[in-house]
Amino acid sequence: MQSFWYFVYNFLFLPFFWLVMQFAALFNQKIWRGISGRRRLFHQLEQDIHKLKSLRRVWFHSSSMGEFEQARPIIAALRRRYKDIDVIVTFFSPSGYDHSKNYKLANLISYIPFDTASNAKRFLDMIEPTVAVMVRYDVWPNHMWELRNRNIPTFIANATLRKNSLRRIFPLSNFHRYVYNGLRSILTVSEDDAEAFRSFRLPHPHIQSIGETRYDQVSQRSEEARAKHLIPPAVLKRKKVFVVGSSWEEDDEVILPAFKAIAEEDTSTVMILVPHEPTLETLERLEISLNGTMRAIRFSELNDFSNENVILV
């Protein structure tokens, strides 16, 4: 059965997926950036591989920025405990890669290659990880199968699996059973997630609920922010603060009118809005949306704060 799924994935799904991505890139800037960023991936790795000096190497893979936030506390804890390890960080999404490529606790940061069997072999030949950690759900089959073939311990951290997930419906459930079965451990956010993974009847991985590392990261960030006084205390004095993090345009269409109604009832409220992609284009779009309804100021201009309703980060 495993050879059957290997054939279906590599000779049916991947060619179709590649064509869809190429077509979608014509209309989606983010997808185009992801494809463009991979064109010289192995060439860049050859230039950067000298950064890996230790024989003990931990590879962390995250889909995007949100998932990487969950990896950060684990990486920081490893760095505190082990002084002689190298950390390799990869991303699928350009939003994660672009915003984290200067992350100081990693020795090497890269996109993950497109998930062909040959790419997976070439990538692992180059980075030679001792351990691999996939964060949350971004598990690419050929990379997983190659890690298993090399007997490299592989984990999923902060794993989640909803009861109504398509991954649990036949025939996808059978396919994912072969993908997950090479893992050493699946470490879930909740006991419900652990039970959902146990429904695959996996003989090899240890499945355990350990909680959500994102809370550790939020707590750490909060302490650091208080120490740095990123927002002058006078700006938030006697204010009721509404924080919106990692919002998309569809979120903003709901949140902005709702906050406007709140602000009209209570003038002591202020909203700190951090879009998922904090580009100049996004900030300009938000400023246009707010024009005439609420006063907004950018985080970078807080020295000129004059009681605006919205702070855009």
The token duo for 239 is 């204010």
Strand pairing report for 269-275 and 206-209: unpaired
Q: Can you give the pLDDT at residue 237?
A: 85
Q: Can you give the pLDDT at residue 272?
A: 92
Alpha carbon 34 to its chain centroid, in Å, reads 14
Give the SS3 label for residue 35: helix
What whole-number distance in Å separates Cα of residue 14 and Cα of residue 116? Answer: 8
- Residue 177 one-letter amino acid: R
CB 113 within 8 A of CB 45: no
Burial class (CB in 10 A: 0-12, 13-18, 19+), 307: exposed
Pick from 26, 48, 61: nearest CA to 144: 61
- Order of strands, sheet of 154-159, starting from the edge strand that comes earlier in the sequence: 108-111, 85-91, 56-62, 131-135, 154-159, 185-188, 206-209
pLDDT tens per residue across span 104-128: 999 999 999 999 999 999 999 999 9
What whole-number distance in Å separates Cα of residue 221 and Cα of residue 215? Answer: 10
Kindly provide the b/e burial profile for residues 283-300, where b requires at least 16 CB atoms within 10 angstroms of the residue's own CB. Answer: beebeebbeeebebbeee
pLDDT band for position 66 (50/70/90)?
Answer: confident
Q: Over range 182-194, report the average pLDDT.
A: 94
The conformation of residue 113, written as its DSSP 8-state character, comes to P
Q: Can you give the pLDDT at residue 1?
A: 66
DSSP 247-284: E-HHHHHHHHHHHHHHHHH-TTEEEEEEESS--HHHHH
Q: Over range 90-96, report the average pLDDT.
A: 92
Q: Can you give the pLDDT at residue 296?
A: 87
Q: Can you give the pLDDT at residue 99?
A: 86
Taking CB atoms within 8 Å and a gap of at least 24, the contacts of 189-192 are 189/158, 189/159, 189/160, 190/160, 192/163
- Terminal Cα-to-Cα distance of the chain (whole angstroms): 50
Q: How many CA atoms lie within 13 A of 113 on its CB side?
A: 22
Q: Can you give the pLDDT at residue 228?
A: 67
Pick from 112, 138, 135: nearest CA to 124: 112
What whole-number distance in Å separates Cα of residue 108 and Cα of residue 127? Answer: 9
- What integer best gives the mean pLDDT of the chain? 90
Q: Above 90 in pLDDT, residue 71?
A: yes
What whole-number distance in Å separates Cα of residue 286 and Cα of residue 253? Answer: 10
Pick from 136, 143, 137: nearest CA to 120: 143
